[in-house]
């Protein structure tokens, strides 16, 4: 393993599992009926997963310290708060935009970057598929 590279520590495993759960749960939330009890319960679970992903990221850093990705974690936490507040104050459109933005930006786009060759998750996925 190259110097400064990550390995599968418990923190990274928790981060990865919370992110994967958020991707799956978020996909269901975006496609399912809104406003009912199941949506609210699943939404709180999704917020918990996202807060875990963002919060635990501060324990994942290279020897040089924090990187630009930690700025995204701060932004994610702030957007989670504003999205929840929008829902609680019945500002549906603001809630929708906050949560869709987080799903696409903080999960889908960032998640795709983790699949690049040379990244820990990318190595695991492509190795398992026999591509690398």
Q: Using one digit for the tens of pLDDT, what is the confidence trace for 74-104?
A: 999 999 999 999 999 999 999 999 999 999 9
**Measured between alpha carbons, how far is 59 from 123 in angstroms, rounded to an integer?**
21
Identify the segments of the chain with pLDDT beneath 70: 1-5, 132
- The C-alpha atoms of residue 51 and residue 81 are separated, in whole angstroms, by 10
Nearest-CA neighbor of 53 among 103, 15, 81, 26?
Answer: 15
Total Cβ atoms within 10 A of residue 83? 23
Would you state the pLDDT for residue 11? 92
Mean pLDDT over the full length of the chain: 90
């Amino acid at each position: 393993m190259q110097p400064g590279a990550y390995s599968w520590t418990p923190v990274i495993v928790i981060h990865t599992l919370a992110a994967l759960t958020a991707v799956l749960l978020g996909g269901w939330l975006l496609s399912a009926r809104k406003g009912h009890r199941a949506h609210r319960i699943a939404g709180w679970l999704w917020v918990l997963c996202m807060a875990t992903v963002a919060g635990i990221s501060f324990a994942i850093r290279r020897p040089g310290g924090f990187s630009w990705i930690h700025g995204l974690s701060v932004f994610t936490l702030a957007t989670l708060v504003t999205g929840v507040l929008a829902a609680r104050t019945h500002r549906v459109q603001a809630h929708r935009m906050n949560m869709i933005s987080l799903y696409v930006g903080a999960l889908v786009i960032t998640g795709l970057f983790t699949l690049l060759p040379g990244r820990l998750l990318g190595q695991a996925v492509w190795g398992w598929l026999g591509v690398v």
